[in-house]
Structure 1
């Protein structure tokens, strides 16, 4: 993972489309075959990473399919050659010793392209129906911090002795060690104060949810100023992209997806009932209507090809290195992005073209 370059990733469709579940242009498909096809196409198109979210049951429609993140990541590690694989992990579900061993194994299979995305969970039902206690927000982060500290040391090949509040580890060492780098990378999501403290202490890259540039820049500045040991922290952004030849065409597609998303109102209501109200992600994304998950189009990547490229450059100057992108329909829009947006940006330094910019729903300044 190179420092400072603009990098593009995609969200694997592990539980179906991200924008609207009733889109005739993107029928529901969370199968292994579809996910494999998307990831292989993303690699061929030049995308740098894929994020594989972890859910045991579909968080939107429990009767629908849900890809399992870690077995899927292991299979993709064997099928791909270049793209980085990032599997999300919820600490309450896996003991740190056994998860660290799994992570090292996928690191070996991939040839040094694996990372884990630490998420401290929001979907209460997934835990409670399995008889697993779902702690309060700050307690989950305290648990996650102890958990990831053990995983990190084990992935580094250290011999671990640990007597903590949640775990007692007696003289554990995992072999073989990582032959490619000190350990697989650790990505951390969440914007609460405990999440920020956790990523500064244990993370390599902080994932920020899609939101306007000014808020993203403020978050980056806040965390960047905090003292930490080791290499400087890097930053990523989740965002949904709608790019077309003209801004009017992009806004028409945005309106289409937004209208379709309104048909999912009952699904969203169930999700809200199952969500920890203290989860900052949902507090943030509730501030404005948008398309996509994890903030989606709230990042403002809706417009002409030049406008979207310019906006990506602005986020990059604010400190964002990795853009974890969502598209719908997935394959067609990934291809459009690779053909139209990637050539407009030098990966080492953004080539910015002057273009009027406005966020969805606002008039363009002429």
Structure 2
């Protein structure tokens, strides 16, 4: 199993804690990126939102693609999984930009394709926000243009959402046939698209039994299409302490989200514009992507055992959140990674 982490583009992950000892400066981002390689992390997920959905829309946040280029220049090994939302990027122009970044990074670029959920953000930035299934139809065309652009030669495409004529992208990405495409989603539209077009399925946090059922479903879909196996990633928030009591005390602190907190309204909008397989409580939303449900909260031995349980059901990649990010990553690397490796 590879161990990755979410890059703290929002200056923190907790919706009820105003100051987590993290900021959005480049100096802190550079320090974290370099140190994460030294600690042995394999990958970082750089989320893309133009507004801060954790700390509130008035709070600062980093741009994913500007940050990714900078991180690529100051690191050597770590994979850069950068989120991209098709409705915010022309696919032909994006294909050129992403290929250039892949060259800069030495072939370390991967994409996390996200079909958007935040209608208010789209309104503020003047971007069209389609109905749920229409967003996935747009994504399907967007990916077709991307693959065609990276295929070499001249490429033309005429779809409902995108049209290009004799498109040429050179140089192409270093990774063949393309950078890894990760995507997540629990609606039928999302799962059908991912099974057909992507390389990896990234899931919201859940316990092993539920994760196993999701992986089995996607494996069936993939086999029916006659395609190679997907990789499987899982979001998880990790709390490591010397005692279980101390870990539970920290858990209580991070799940105390009140209706007046900056992220509360965003919680309702996310629920309204997503099609999830199960209900999400406000405690779940205290950290992103149901990260508490895998149960990575406890002593180093307990957390390592639960990670082994996730690996046993087919999870290839963990995408960890923690707070404060670097301090907790240091603790995880020192106390949990040796038990896994």
Say yes or no: TM over 0.5.
Answer: yes
Q: Secondary structure at the match of 1:18?
A: coil
Q: Does residue 110 of structure 2 align to residue 115 of structure 1?
A: yes
What is the aligned counterpart of 1:183 among 161, 165, 178?
Answer: 178
> Which residues in structure 2 correspond to 1:246-261 (within 5 Å)?
246-259=243-256
Q: Does residue 312 of structure 2 align to residue 324 of structure 1?
A: no
Q: Secondary structure at the match of 2:5?
A: strand
Question: Which range moved further: 292-301 or 229-238?
Answer: 229-238
Q: Does residue 29 of structure 2 align to residue 35 of structure 1?
A: yes
Question: Which range moved further: 268-277 or 79-88?
Answer: 268-277
Give 5+ residue unaligned stretches, structure 1.
1-5, 347-366
In structure 2, how many angstroms separate the alpha carbons of the residues matched to 1:123 and 1:283? Answer: 19
1:358 aligns with none
What is the aligned counterpart of 1:45 among 39, 45, 52?
Answer: 39
Scaled by the length of structure 1, what TM-score is found?
0.87
> Which residues in structure 2 correspond to 1:165-180 (within 5 Å)?
165-180=160-175
Q: Residue 275 of structure 1: CA displacement?
A: 3.1
Q: Secondary structure at the match of 1:253?
A: helix
Per-residue Cα deviation, 1:105-140 (whole angstroms, up to 9, x for no partner): 111000010011100111111111223221110110
CA-based RMSD of the aligned residues comes to 1.9
1:78 aligns with 73
Q: Residue 30 of structure 1: CA displacement?
A: 2.0
Matched-pair contact (CA < 8 Å) for 1:31–1:66: no
1:218 aligns with 213
Matched-pair contact (CA < 8 Å) for 1:88–1:116: yes
Q: Secondary structure at the match of 1:285?
A: coil
Matched-pair contact (CA < 8 Å) for 1:210–1:237: yes
What is the aligned counterpart of 1:11 among 6, 17, 23?
Answer: 6
1:101 aligns with 96
Q: Secondary structure at the match of 1:54?
A: coil
Per-residue Cα deviation, 1:218-262 (whole angstroms, up to 9, x for no partner): 111001111235431110000000112221221121122223xx2
1:293 aligns with 288
Scaled by the length of structure 2, what TM-score is found?
0.93
In structure 1, how many angstroms separate the alpha carbons of the residues matched to 2:208 and 2:102? Answer: 34
Q: Residue 272 of structure 1: CA displacement?
A: 3.2
In structure 2, how many angstroms separate the alpha carbons of the residues matched to 1:326 and 1:332? Answer: 12
In structure 2, how many angstroms separate the alpha carbons of the residues matched to 1:57 and 1:310? Answer: 37
Matched-pair contact (CA < 8 Å) for 1:48–1:83: yes
Matched-pair contact (CA < 8 Å) for 2:15–2:262: no
Give 5+ residue unaligned stretches, structure 2.
none
